[in-house]
Structure 1
Amino acid sequence: MSDDDTAAAAPRRTNEENRHASWLELFFDLVAVAGVAQIAHLLHGVPDVSDLGLYALLFLAFWTAWVCFTLYANVAYENTHLRTVLAAMFGMAVMAAAVPGVHEGDDHHARVFALAYILIRALATRAWQHRRQILVDWPAAQMSLGVIPWIVSLWAHDPTRPWLWALGIALDLYVTFAVSARDIVERQEARERLGNRPARRDSGRGTSLARSQTEHLSERLGLFVIIVLGEGVAQLVQATSAAEWDRKLYTLAVAAFFLLATLWALSFRHGYAGVPHLAAGVLPARAALPLHCFVSGCLAALAAALGAAAEHLETLPDATRWLLCSALAGYFLLSGLAWLGRAARERRWLLSVALPCCVLPLLLAAFGAHVRTVVMVWLLVLITAWPILYERRSTKPSKPAVNSGTGTSTA
């Protein structure tokens, strides 16, 4: 990030700094519940490579739509426009409802999904233009470059359409990491001067830079991860309710619950904003937000795999086993990336914890074809618990030596 991007908006009021998610924001997050559930269902059964690709693409699109308005409400605070947020909620609900049809290759559902996404992004752009602010943390939230391929996709068909969507997401990521917010402001002001558009008299200022409110944003990001973990519980409940209840199912249900609970502990008790091993203020929002997106995507994929595991109590199908183990390996890979921002003296954790936690699930996926499902899940629980045990052992205070002659400590 350039030095220009370090400029911030005017100081915020104390009550704004200490605020929590509003009722409107919580209502907005309920749409995320429906969206994550619909997208996770793409991985039911025996998913193939095309299913995984479509899952990743739709999840990225849904998360992008969600984060655009999460950041808008974060910055606007009491000036958030209710009708704008409600319209975005409706658009996201339409996107969620269209997911099954997109998976089945229905052109109509795919166009509706793309159109809803385009309108949501247009709403976000309009909201930021009204505020006359450029968001430093995520400039793509108010730029339309990544939306252009989505517009073109309205006249495209499979297999071209998904590639256009992927191009749009890639352009958004490019804008986020390669474009300076100060450059955006200068270009916008230049266009206004060329168009002889006077500055708004009611605001008394031109376009300015804005930053997200950190603690409130971390709460919203954490709520999204909680939603994804809750989807894992829902998948497990749905699968077990339709199965025959026996000892194998009981043992698997306990193991799966321990796995989800351990992931919750890693993401929140040993992490920040739902990202494991991330500390507050270590990474800029431009880096932390993509980490949050990919962590959430891995957890949602793992949740779908756990639901499928309850339907295969003997051994897991190859595709399900690879999905379950790869999702956990990806989760720990991102955990290692989050840890890279810490002090160099702590980076030995990467070799003793992050590397084994990434490699061992992949080894189980490659050589665990004959491992019973319950044993497989319990092994993943042990792998997931290792970072917590390691951290507790590393932070445990050593006992001072005691002088036997005097009974006093020699520390």
Structure 2
Amino acid sequence: MLASKPSIEKQQGQLHRLFKIRLKPMSPRDMQQEHRAATPLELLFDLVSVIAIAAAAAGLHHALAEAHYIDGISKYIAAIFAIWWAWMNYTWFASAYDNDDPLFRLLTMVIMAGALTLAAGISQFFEQLDFGLVVMGYVIIRLAMVALWLRAAKHDRARRKTTLSYAVGIALVQLYWVGLLLADMSSLSLFFGGFAIGIGLELSVPALAERHGTTPWHRDHIVERYGLLNIIVLGETLLAGSMALNQINLDNFDTRFVYLAISSLVILFSLWWLYFSREEQLQHKQLKLALIWGYGHLVIYLAGAAVGAGFALQVDILAGHSTTSILIAHYAVAIPIAAYFGGIWFVRDRYVLGSAAKGILPLFACLIIISPPLVGLGGVACLTVMSVYLRNHLASTQ
């Protein structure tokens, strides 16, 4: 028996009220909320980032093993920038506007799908300069961000100019990326010239939008989120140490793999310790410092994942799978460690330490470059941690 017209209208009304109740306004979050922490959805989002970062680090590892140094490093920087920039933009938005309603969750999942698409295209990008999947995934991520910013513009009237600037700016830059994809970019130099312009456009969007009014991001939440991504990045070094241990054969024992595994663990623990030391990150919410701190972490993330790729290259050389010089493999680890030290100095130490203490990380960055292979890197990393610990201890007793 067919339902009557009033009954159908009643059911439609109930369905409408259900969705109306469940969709929350995307109002600004409380910037002073206590104990603000990463949500399960954000942690799931980070899990997707793991896959993309691992793909980029693997691409760098194989490029170095095949002696494609300039090509591999350039593509690695491009891939990590795309992954980091997509992660960073979502993270700062969620810190300010995450209302955890169904539409926010669904748009976040669209962003994750875009990130997986991007990750799937990284190997083709390294092998053939085919960046179709990378751009496709990236554009999916960014268009979902446009939808999120438009939701924020609807409900946060006080910052409507800021949120609309984000939405319009992001959308326009995506037109540029699509145009770059359609253009003839078979030349590596031509591609990276166009890519550099795209980076400049992307970086300019937050800098211009935030001048209309600062979004209500939560300082402690942002600091935690950046720290969590750094742990993910350092996981590449842990993976390389595991690869070294896997090469150990009891029938033909090679102590070099043991030294390599120990060295990778020592350096991993040192890099973690230095980042999560006592010094305060992001001391205030001034726009200039927020941009320097937020953007400057790209160096830390690039370097952290590259350390793992450098150790993986050393495993290949010792196992006879690559003819690359062991000296080059040494610098493939040493230079990223030095850059990691410099990145921490750039975003944190130069703001919070005295004139003498702030020079510790730059000094040890130089020592890392001239240290001997394998054991030398781990030894200098340990000395760096000990010096920072002593510095903090002396500061606390004064």
Give the TM interval when normalised to the shorter protein.
0.7 to 0.9
- Where in structure 2 are the equivalents of 1:85-100 lying within 5 Å? 85-100=108-123
Distance in 2, matches of 1:84 and 1:358, equals 42
The reply on whether 1:23 has 2:40 as its aligned counterpart is yes
- 1:259 is matched with which residue: 267, 285, 288? 267
Alignment map for 1:339-354 (pairs within 5 Å)? 339-342=349-352, 346-351=354-359, 353-354=360-361
Determine the structure 2 residue equivalent to 1:173.
203
Find the aligned partners of 1:151 and 1:260 in 2 and give their Cα distance: 38
Q: In structure 2, what residue type is equivalent to 1:391? A: R
User: How far did residue 282 of structure 1 move?
Assistant: 7.8
Deviation at 1:222, TM superposition (A): 1.0
> Gaps (5+ residues) in structure 1?
1-8, 184-207, 273-277, 365-370, 399-411
Query: How far, CA to CA, are the matches of 2:307 and 2:160 in structure 1?
Result: 36
Q: Give the superposition deviation at 1:26.
A: 0.9
Query: Does the C-alpha gap of structure 1 residues 225 and 248 become closer, same or farther in structure 2, counting only changes over 3 Å?
Result: same
**For residue 180 of structure 2, what is the aligned residue in structure 1?**
153
Matched, 1:289 2:294: yes
Structure 2 CA distance for aligned equivalents of residues 182 and 320 of structure 1: 44
1:12 maps to 30
Amino acid corresponding to residue 281 of structure 1 in structure 2: H
Kindly indicate whether residue 384 of structure 2 is the aligned counterpart of residue 384 of structure 1. yes
Farther-moved stretch of structure 1 (378-387 vs 229-238): 378-387
Q: Work out whether 1:163 is the aligned partner of 2:193.
A: yes
Per mean C-alpha deviation after superposition, the further-off stretch among 300-309 and 247-256 is 247-256
Given that residues 121 and 141 in structure 1 are in contact (C-alpha distance below 8 angstroms), is that contact kept between their aligned partners in structure 2? no
5+ residue gaps in structure 2? Answer: 1-26, 154-158
Q: Is the 8 A contact 2:53 2:305 kept in 1?
A: yes
Q: Deviations over 1:36-78 (max 9, x none)?
A: 1000012212450121111011101111111121122222222
Q: Does 1:39 align with 2:56?
A: yes
Alignment partner, residue 73 of structure 2: 52
How far residue 117 of structure 1 moved from its aligned partner, in angstroms, is: 0.8
Equivalent residues of 1:235, 1:303 under 8 A apart: yes
Q: Aligned Cα RMSD in Å?
A: 2.9
Paired residue type of 1:242: Q
1:196 — aligned with what? Answer: none
Structure 1 30/362 Cα, relative in aligned 2: closer, same or farther at 3 Å? Answer: same
Partner of residue 367, structure 2: 360
Task: Report deviation, 1:118.
Answer: 1.5
Match of 2:99, SS state, is helix
1:41-120 correspondence runs (5 A): 41-44=58-61, 45=65, 46-79=67-100, 81-105=104-128, 107=130, 110-120=131-141
| Contact 2:180-2:194 within 8 A present in 1 as well | yes
Counting only pairs closer than 5 Å after superposition, residues 145-294 of structure 1 correspond to structure 2 as 145-156=172-183, 157-159=185-187, 160-177=190-207, 179=208, 181-183=210-212, 210-244=215-249, 245-271=253-279, 278=281, 280-281=283-284, 284-294=289-299
Using the TM superposition, give the Cα deviation of residue 380 of structure 1 relative to its aligned residue in structure 2, in angstroms.
3.6
* Residue 143 (1) aligns with residue 169 (2): yes
The worse-fitting range, judged by mean Cα deviation, of 51-60 and 245-254 is 245-254
* TM-score normalised over the length of structure 1: 0.75
Q: Structure 1 vs Structure 2: percent identity of aligned residues?
A: 22
Judge conservation of contact 1:329–1:359 (CA < 8 Å) in 2. yes
Moved more, 389-398 or 252-261: 389-398
Moved more, 253-262 or 375-384: 375-384
1:266 counterpart letter in structure 2: L
Distance 1:316 1:167, change over 3 A: same
- Asked if 1 retains the 8 angstrom alpha-carbon contact of 2:219 and 2:282, the reply is no
1:155-200, Cα deviation, whole Å (9 max, x unpaired): 12222334322311122223344x25344xxxxxxxxxxxxxxxxx
Give the Cα–Cα distance (whole angstroms) in 2 for the partners of residues 387 and 340 of structure 1: 16
Aligned CA distance change for structure 1 residues 341 and 37 (closer, same or farther; 3 Å): same
Letter in 2 for 1:104: E
Q: 1:21 to 1:142 in 2, by over 3 A?
A: farther
Extract structure 1 runs of 4+ deviating beyond 4 A. 133-137, 139-142, 313-316
**In 2 relative to 1, CA 129–180 (structure 1 residues): closer, same or farther, beyond 3 Å?**
closer
CA deviations over 1:255-279 (Å, ceiling 9, x no partner): 221111111111113455xxxxx45
1:327 counterpart letter in structure 2: P
Deviations 1:91-121 (A, max 9, x none): 00110111000001153xx112112111211
Distance of 1:122 and 1:136 partners within structure 2: 17
**Residue 333 of structure 1, CA deviation:** 1.5
Instruction: With the length of structure 2 as denominator, give the TM-score of the two structures.
Output: 0.78
Shift of the alpha carbon at 1:212?
0.8
Q: Secondary structure at the match of 1:63?
A: helix
> Would the aligned equivalents of 2:114 and 2:139 in 1 still touch at CA under 8 Å?
no
Residues 243, 103 of structure 1: CA spacing in aligned structure 2 closer, same or farther, 3 A cutoff? farther
Q: Distance in 2 between matches of 1:232 and 1:83?
A: 33
Deviation at residue 124 of structure 1 after TM alignment:
0.6
| Residue 313 of structure 1, CA deviation | 4.8
Bigger share in helix: 2
Distance 1:48 1:84 in 2: 38
Residue 392 to residue 141, structure 1, CA distance change in 2 (3 Å): farther
Residue matched to 2:310: 305
* 8 Å Cα contact 1:305-1:324 kept in structure 2: yes
Q: Does residue 319 of the first structure (1) align with residue 348 of the second (2)?
A: no
Give the C-alpha shift of residue 326 in structure 1: 1.1
Q: Which moved more, 1:28-37 or 1:379-388?
A: 379-388
